[in-house]
Chains A and B, each alone.
Chain A
C-alpha cells in the first residue's frame, strides 16, 4: 500500500518535471526563430591581405549544439565573430535560415553571445545585467523584470539577483552571462571558450549545465573550445578547424572512429593516437591493406586501446601476432599503460591487463583490433580504411518545438 503510494508520488513528480520542462521549452523558444547557419565560400582577412579563413563553407544545423574545435589561433573566435556580425567577411555569404545576413550588423542578427571572460557589466546587479538587452529593446519594465527572473531561474541564479557580478563565483558569473545572452530570445547562442576560466571540477559541471540549458531552450548553439574532451562530451557535432580550414565536420563518435586526416586523428582522443612511419611496418600490413595503400601510405596511426594481447579472443586485424619490445609498464588504479617499441617507435597501449604483461626489455606479442587503425598518405589524408561500418546515423536535426 505504502509502496504503491510512493510509486504514485514518484510518477507524479516525474510528470511534473516533464511538464515543467515542456513549459520552459515553449517559454524560451517563444519569439526565437530557430534557424540554421550557412557559410558559403566565406573568407576573412583582418588586414585585407592574409586570409585567416580561406573560402570555407558549412551548415550548422538548427536546434543543436555544435562545437568549433581546434588549437589556439586556428580561427575559431574569428568564425564565431563572423556568425555574430561583429566581423564582416572579406568574401562570401552568410545565411541564417533562408535569410542572407552578410550585410546585417550584430544587433540585427539577434544572436546571444557569451565571452570567455563573461563580459558582465560590473556596475550593474545580476538582474539588471540579465535585463539589459531587453531594456535596450524597449521591453516594458514589468515584462522584462518578469522574464529576467524566469531566466535567472533557468540558470539557477535566482537567489543572487541583487548582487554585483564581482560578488559571484566564476560558475555563477558564467550562468548570468548565459541568461543575459538568452534574454533577447536569440536565434543563435554563441559561446566563446566559456569554460576556460573555471577550475576542472566546475568545468565539468557547467558543461552539463550548458547542455541542459541548450536542450531545454532548443536554441541553435555554437560552442567554441580548444579542449577535445569538452567538445566530445557536449556536442551534437564538432567542426574541427586548423589554420583556418575545416578539417572535418561530423558527430563526435565519427570523428573518433573515422578521422578524415592525420590532424583530426591526433587531435581527438586521449592518450594521443600512436603514429608510426608506414615504411617501418609495411610488411605486417601486406595481407591487410590493398596494394595501392601499400605504395601510397606514409603514416599508420593506431589508437592505444586497439593494441591488445595476442591472446585476446576477439577479432584481430592481422592473421599472425605482431612482435614488439616491452619498454615500460605503469599501473594507475584500474588503468594499465604499456610502452612498446614497434617498428622503431615507442607506442602506448592501454588494452593490456597486468597478467598479460611480460618483462621490460623482452619481446612481447600483441595483436591489433580491426577498429582504430588508420593509414594516411603523404598529404595526411586517410586512405585506409575507406569507410568504417559504424552505427552512427548521419546528422539529423532533433525535433524542435516551435511555439
Chain B
C-alpha cells in the first residue's frame, strides 16, 4: 500500500516537473507581452509586470500587415492539410491493400527518404520551385508539403490493422475499392486521420524557415514570418514580439484544446499497433 503511494507520488512529481517545463515559456511569453520595453531587460527579471501594458497587443497588430498574414496562414494551412490528407489516404490504401508491380520497392524507397534531414531538402526544393517560377507565390508555400511519407506510413499501419475479411465482405457486397476506402477505411481510421491532420495543421501554421526563404513580399507571407518585423539592426522589441507571438499561436492552442482527445488517441494507437 505505502509502496504504491510512494510510486504514485513520484509519478505526480515527475509529471508536474514536465508540465512546468512545458508551461514556463508560455507564461514568460505572456508576461513579457505585458511589460514595458525597459522592464523586458531588467535584472533580476520580473514575472508579473508592475503595470500591465495591454496596448502592446494593439501596437504589435499594427506594426505589420498581420491581417494579410493571418489570411495567408489560414489559406496555406487549410490547403496543405486537406491536400496532404488526400494524398496520404490514397497512398496508404495503395500500400496497404492493393497489389501492384514494384510495391515493396517503392515502399522501401519512400521509407528511406525519411532518413534525409529536412534541411537538406531546402535547396533542391528552392531550385525546383524557382525553375517553375513559383517563388513568392502560394504554390511555393503549399506544393512541397502536399505529401508526407511519415503520414502515409502512420496511416498504412492503421489501415493494415483493419481485417482483410472486411475488405472481402465489402467487395462481395458490391463495394468498389474507391467506395470501400471512403465508406469503411476512412471512418474506421478516424482518430489516426484526425491526428495526422492536426499535426499537419500545427506544423504548417508554425512553419517559419520555408516561408521566409521562398517569399519576399507581404502579399504572400505568413504569420511566423511576420514576427520578423520586431527584429531590426537596432535590436528586438521583446514586448511587441511576445505580444504578436501570443496572437499567432492562440488559434493553435484553441485547436489543440478542442481536439486533444483525437491527437492522443491517434498517437497512442499508431504507436501500439505499429
Interface residues of A (CB under 8 A from B): 84, 86, 106-107, 111-113, 115-117, 119, 121-123, 132-133, 136-137, 180, 184
Is B174 interfacial (CB-CB < 8 Å)? Answer: yes
Could you tell me the distance between the alpha carbons of A136 and B170 in the complex, rounded to whole angstroms?
A: 9
Is B261 interfacial (CB-CB < 8 Å)? Answer: no
On chain A, the residues within 8 Å of B175 by CB distance are 132, 136
Q: Are B171 and A119 in contact (CB under 8 A)?
A: no
Q: Are B172 and A112 in contact (CB under 8 A)?
A: yes
On chain B, the residues within 8 Å of A132 by CB distance are 170, 173, 175
Could you tell me the distance between the alpha carbons of A112 and B174 in the complex, rounded to whole angstroms?
A: 11
On chain B, the residues within 8 Å of A117 by CB distance are 163, 165
Q: Are B184 and A121 in contact (CB under 8 A)?
A: yes
18 A-B pairs with C-beta separation under 8 A:
A86-B168, A86-B171, A86-B172, A106-B168, A111-B172, A113-B169, A115-B168, A119-B163, A121-B166, A123-B184, A123-B188, A132-B175, A133-B173, A133-B174, A136-B173, A137-B174, A180-B169, A180-B173
Q: Are B166 and A119 in contact (CB under 8 A)?
A: yes
Is B25 interfacial (CB-CB < 8 Å)? Answer: no
Smallest CB gap from B190: residue in A: A123
Could you tell me the distance between the alpha carbons of A119 and B184 in the complex, rounded to whole angstroms?
A: 12
Interface residues of B (CB under 8 A from A): 163, 165-166, 168-175, 179, 184, 187-188
Distance in Å: Cβ of B29 to nearest Cβ of chain A? 42
Could you tell me the distance between the alpha carbons of A111 and B173 in the complex, rounded to whole angstroms?
A: 9
* A84 touches which of B166, B170, B172 (Cβ 8 Å): B172
Could you tell me the distance between the alpha carbons of A257 and B165 in the complex, rounded to whole angstroms?
A: 37
Q: Are B188 and A119 in contact (CB under 8 A)?
A: no
On chain B, the residues within 8 Å of A115 by CB distance are 165, 168-169
Could you tell me the distance between the alpha carbons of A107 and B173 in the complex, rounded to whole angstroms?
A: 7
On chain B, the residues within 8 Å of A116 by CB distance are 165
On chain B, the residues within 8 Å of A113 by CB distance are 168-169, 172
Distance in Å: Cβ of B236 to nearest Cβ of chain A? 52
Could you tell me the distance between the alpha carbons of A119 and B168 in the complex, rounded to whole angstroms?
A: 9
Q: A121-B184, A123-B187 are in contact. Are A107 and B171 (CB under 8 A)?
A: yes
Q: Are B172 and A107 in contact (CB under 8 A)?
A: yes
On chain B, the residues within 8 Å of A136 by CB distance are 173-175, 179
Q: Are A107 and B169 in contact (CB under 8 A)?
A: no
Q: Are B165 and A106 in contact (CB under 8 A)?
A: no
The 8 closest A-B pairs by CB, nearest first: A136-B174, A119-B165, A133-B173, A119-B169, A115-B165, A123-B187, A119-B166, A106-B172
Could you tell me the distance between the alpha carbons of A121 and B173 in the complex, rounded to whole angstroms?
A: 12
On chain A, the residues within 8 Å of B166 by CB distance are 119, 121
Smallest CB gap from A133: residue in B: B173
On chain B, the residues within 8 Å of A123 by CB distance are 184, 187-188
Q: Counting chain A CB atoms within 10 Å of each CB, which of B172, B173, B179, B184 scores highest?
A: B172
On chain A, the residues within 8 Å of B187 by CB distance are 123
Q: Counting chain A CB atoms within 10 Å of each CB, which of B168, B174, B179, B187 scores highest?
A: B174
Smallest CB gap from B183: residue in A: A121
Q: Are B168 and A184 in contact (CB under 8 A)?
A: no
Q: Counting chain A CB atoms within 10 Å of each CB, which of B165, B179, B187, B188 scores highest?
A: B165
Could you tell me the distance between the alpha carbons of A112 and B168 in the complex, rounded to whole angstroms?
A: 11
Smallest CB gap from A132: residue in B: B173
Could you tell me the distance between the alpha carbons of A132 and B187 in the complex, rounded to whole angstroms?
A: 15
Q: Are B173 and A184 in contact (CB under 8 A)?
A: yes
Distance in Å: Cβ of A78 to nearest Cβ of chain B? 13
Q: Are B163 and A106 in contact (CB under 8 A)?
A: no
On chain A, the residues within 8 Å of B165 by CB distance are 115-117, 119
Could you tell me the distance between the alpha carbons of A123 and B183 in the complex, rounded to whole angstroms?
A: 10
Could you tell me the distance between the alpha carbons of A106 and B165 in the complex, rounded to whole angstroms?
A: 14
On chain B, the residues within 8 Å of A107 by CB distance are 171-172, 174
Smallest CB gap from A112: residue in B: B172
Q: Counting chain A CB atoms within 10 Å of each CB, which of B171, B179, B187 scores highest?
A: B171
Could you tell me the distance between the alpha carbons of A117 and B163 in the complex, rounded to whole angstroms?
A: 9
Q: Are B171 and A106 in contact (CB under 8 A)?
A: yes
Could you tell me the distance between the alpha carbons of A117 and B165 in the complex, rounded to whole angstroms?
A: 8
Could you tell me the distance between the alpha carbons of A132 and B166 in the complex, rounded to whole angstroms?
A: 13
On chain A, the residues within 8 Å of B174 by CB distance are 107, 133, 136-137, 184
Could you tell me the distance between the alpha carbons of A184 and B187 in the complex, rounded to whole angstroms?
A: 24
Q: Are B188 and A122 in contact (CB under 8 A)?
A: yes
Could you tell me the distance between the alpha carbons of A184 and B170 in the complex, rounded to whole angstroms?
A: 12
Smallest CB gap from A114: residue in B: B169
Distance in Å: Cβ of B185 to nearest Cβ of chain A? 11
On chain A, the residues within 8 Å of B179 by CB distance are 136
Distance in Å: Cβ of A70 to nearest Cβ of chain B? 20
On chain A, the residues within 8 Å of B170 by CB distance are 121, 132
On chain B, the residues within 8 Å of A122 by CB distance are 188
Could you tell me the distance between the alpha carbons of A111 and B171 in the complex, rounded to whole angstroms?
A: 11
Smallest CB gap from B187: residue in A: A123
Smallest CB gap from B174: residue in A: A136
Could you tell me the distance between the alpha carbons of A106 and B180 in the complex, rounded to whole angstroms?
A: 15
On chain A, the residues within 8 Å of B173 by CB distance are 132-133, 136, 180, 184
On chain A, the residues within 8 Å of B184 by CB distance are 121, 123
Could you tell me the distance between the alpha carbons of A106 and B168 in the complex, rounded to whole angstroms?
A: 9
